[in-house]
Structure 1
Amino acid sequence: MTALAATLLFTHGQTTERTVVAAERLARVLGVAVKVLPYWGELIVKVDSAPISHIVPATPLGVDMGRVLAVTTVIARVCDGTLPVATAQSALESAGRLPPASTPRFTLFAALGAASLGVIFGALDATSLLLIAASAAIGALVRRWLSGLTHNPLIQPLCAALIAGVVAAAASRIQLSIATTLVAFSPCMVLVPGPHILNGAIDLARMRIALGTARLAYAGIIVLMICAGGLFGFTAVGGNLVVAGPAPPAPLIADVIAAGCAVASFGAFFSMPWRLLPLPIAVGMFAHAARWALITAAGAGAPMGALVACLLVSVFTAPVVDRLHLPFAAVAFSAVVSLMPGFFLFNTATGLVELVAMGPNAPATLLTSIVTNAVTAFLIIMAMTFGLILPRMLYERLRPSAA
């Protein structure tokens, strides 16, 4: 039972530390002292009083807040004595079989989230937003279709990004949109594996070097697949994607509303129950308003704005996720998804392709643009990671029982 609970938490997005703590707590209630040792690809449950180890396959590829919530609720009820141990096994198995978000919800919120990110990054005309939404919706349907055909986690983002590139290139050729780059990039930004980046960073901070490195490598491969799919789709149709320049910031009201919609969309991607969506939406909108004020009114850079926004999100969500038994990385990332530097990452990839195509004739400004976008993306990711995990780890240190 302990191995089953740990596996369900580990594979559906719970942080490693809380997975270990919850599983070991359940084992103590069952009368056994164990150590849970997590690795990429397996969990080892070792009995302290005997040379016995139970090894179960477990790879943390997915994020499903509904299942994590159900499993942690079962564990809490067993530990409180309100759920008989005899029925706990079946309750855990039922929690592991909970369905993900329905296909209509998944598709609708994919379209909404991509269009919202388009607004945040400067696509304010109706035609561009409709193209972004349609591209993301088609990509979401294809992802759901592929999930029934293969369990390879790389195929879905690759194909969805490919569709985004094709749609953007077609729109460019018939001159449907004035924001071709954002039509290509925005549907790709909803594919960025933020929870895996955060969980990997938290593992590294806790000196789980091998596991943290594996998580970050997995996230990096997904980002590579997204860039490759988007660029290939665009060039295959004959498009000429160029590095996009900075767009003027959206008005505050539009920016904050779009951030809330983006948060809601990622809540759907992660199968968050409807009743829990207001928390990350409210926190995300507040944090994004603070970022907008820093960048627009105070003249701060994007990395500093991301740092302050993520610090606020972590401070507000760290105590709440423990009370609601939710995975911190998924909730925190949902609240700050609009801050992810997908725009800068894809601009970097576009610039590299353009640099290779032009060869020695490439202007120095292109190389400068590539370096600037790459460094900006790196600094934003570092700022977000630091801002999200520092308050969380301080909270765990002050309240060890909440770890």
Structure 2
Amino acid sequence: MSALQDHDVVGLIGDAVINLHGNGQQTDETVRSVERLVRHYDADIAVMPRWGEVSLREGPGAAGRPIALLDVTPSNVGMNRVLATSRVIDAAIAERLPSTEVRARLKTVGAMPPSSNHLFALACATGAVALSVTFGVEHLPAVMLMFVSAGAGGYVRRLSSRYGANAFAQAFLAALLAGLIGALGVRLNISSDLRLIAVCPCMVIVPGPHLLNGTLDLLAGRLPLGASRLLFAALILLSISAGLLVGLSVWDVSLPAAPVGRTVALWPVIIAAGVAASCYSVFFSMPLRLLGWPIATAMAVDGVRWLAMSELHVGPAGGAGIAGLVAGTLLVPVARRHRIPFAGIGFASIVSLMPGVFVFRMMGGLTSLQFADHAAAVPILEGVVADGLTALLIVAAMTVCIVIPKHLYDTFWPSAPR
């Protein structure tokens, strides 16, 4: 059958690609799912995913004749849509549904809403407080102000997106609010040099799934798409840093580089990691019946990291790498079995290990250098280098180690269980 002669088949394949690629599914999984539909309908269509568009071609790969160019940017993570799309594909193949009905179902899936604004804001607030526990928050007023700041930031992100703000503007506005409220906490003398009131609400905006999906694309040889995902994540981090520093500067408050950290007991950290994982699962619209997986994994990997650092005496990067390897090993079969984005469930499980706070402090130190004299510049520069290297090593170790099991699984067991 010529794909150009059946517009319904081309349309339903395009809808499936949009639902999967546009909602955080790994590129290899998207291609595999669509290829099942192509074989079922005896079509000759190749899928060529890129950043901002997906090309459908009739014939072998890039050499085929263009059929359609889909406008889809993989900047969102919606696990509910990915899972529902996979179920529609299963039903289309098992029940031999007509193409018109399959396309109608895929359209319905594409219109599925994310989590409500109130639930999203509550998850932002709770997640920020949980992350602050891992950094050693001590005072209830700081926790309360942080809760309000992160929750308000969640509303700002949702409402600004309704008025056309892109991901960078949303991140900047939420971080700006966090900076203003964090600076207020300093003025009220309820914030330490750690500035947790300011930085923890910004931590819930960090675009971790794009780091994981970008790394997987690079490992699969999709260099332009992988580089685009990583650049997108880097620009969001820059937007967060800019908003945070501008908000702090309004009240003439700085973000100290490399402040003295606090020692936190193991059990509060493990519990906080599970709470943070549940909050990030809400961000990504994960089905509630799957919520136990990222929570249990997050608690396990935090314990593994603590043991690695205390018993094996590895550094922060080594501990994060070991934790990432454990998380990837546990969650790859879960993501494949339930056809949900590995980047979403994987990042939710390791979010408490992400060094976003070090990135923000590094950027704050860099801005402070322009106003420092020679004597003060040296310790500031040392702090900037320390924070930057710590963040880089932790992200690199954790990202590579968590995607290694996924890459091996895709290589040796490419067929998804059904």
Counterparts of 1:1-400 in structure 2 under 5 Å?
A: 1-48=12-59, 51-81=65-95, 83-178=97-192, 181-400=195-414
Asked if structure 2 preserves the Cα contact closer than 8 Å seen for 1:127 and 1:177, the reply is no
Question: Is 1:402 aligned with 2:393?
Answer: no
Shift of 1:51: 3.0
Asked if structure 2 preserves the Cα contact closer than 8 Å seen for 1:142 and 1:159, the reply is yes
Secondary structure in structure 2 of the residue aligned to 1:402: coil
CA distance in 1, matches of 2:190, 2:328: 41
Identical columns (%): 37
Shift of 1:297: 4.0
Question: TM-score, normalization: structure 1?
Answer: 0.96
Runs of 4+ that moved beyond 4 A: none
AA partner of residue 10 (structure 1): H
Deviations 1:164-212 (CA, angstroms, capped at 9, x unpaired)? 1001111111212335511111011110000011111111111111111
CA distance in 2, matches of 1:402, 1:261: 30
Q: How many residue pairs were aligned? A: 403
Q: Can you give the 5+ residue segments of structure 1 that lack an aligned partner in the other structure?
A: none
CA distance in 1, matches of 2:196, 2:188: 16
AA partner of residue 184 (structure 1): A
Secondary structure in structure 2 of the residue aligned to 1:32: coil
Shift of 1:236: 0.9
CA distance in 1, matches of 2:44, 2:182: 56
Asked if structure 1 preserves the Cα contact closer than 8 Å seen for 2:219 and 2:407, the reply is no
Shift of 1:359: 4.7
Aligned-residue RMSD, C-alpha? 1.6
Secondary structure in structure 2 of the residue aligned to 1:358: coil
Asked if structure 1 preserves the Cα contact closer than 8 Å seen for 2:255 and 2:365, the reply is no
AA partner of residue 173 (structure 2): C
Shift of 1:74: 0.7
* Cα 1:119–1:296 shift into 2, 3 Å: farther
Asked if structure 2 preserves the Cα contact closer than 8 Å seen for 1:128 and 1:178, the reply is no
Asked if structure 2 preserves the Cα contact closer than 8 Å seen for 1:170 and 1:239, the reply is no
Residue aligning to 2:9: none
AA partner of residue 393 (structure 1): H
Shift of 1:361: 4.1
Asked if structure 2 preserves the Cα contact closer than 8 Å seen for 1:157 and 1:226, the reply is yes
Secondary structure in structure 1 of the residue aligned to 2:286: coil
* More moved, 172-181 vs 272-281: 172-181
Secondary structure in structure 2 of the residue aligned to 1:287: helix
Shift of 1:244: 4.2
Asked if structure 2 preserves the Cα contact closer than 8 Å seen for 1:22 and 1:75, the reply is yes
CA distance in 2, matches of 1:202, 1:359: 44
CA distance in 2, matches of 1:273, 1:340: 24
CA distance in 1, matches of 2:217, 2:229: 9
CA distance in 1, matches of 2:408, 2:357: 31
Residue aligning to 2:3: none
Shift of 1:253: 1.0
Asked if structure 2 preserves the Cα contact closer than 8 Å seen for 1:310 and 1:387, the reply is yes
CA distance in 2, matches of 1:374, 1:160: 23
AA partner of residue 340 (structure 1): M
Secondary structure in structure 2 of the residue aligned to 1:401: coil
* Cα 1:248–1:177 shift into 2, 3 Å: closer
AA partner of residue 230 (structure 1): L
Question: TM-score, normalization: structure 2?
Answer: 0.93
Asked if structure 2 preserves the Cα contact closer than 8 Å seen for 1:313 and 1:388, the reply is yes
Q: Can you give the 5+ residue segments of structure 2 that lack an aligned partner in the other structure?
A: 1-11
Shift of 1:34: 1.7
* More moved, 236-245 vs 150-159: 236-245
AA partner of residue 36 (structure 2): R
* More moved, 60-69 vs 221-230: 60-69
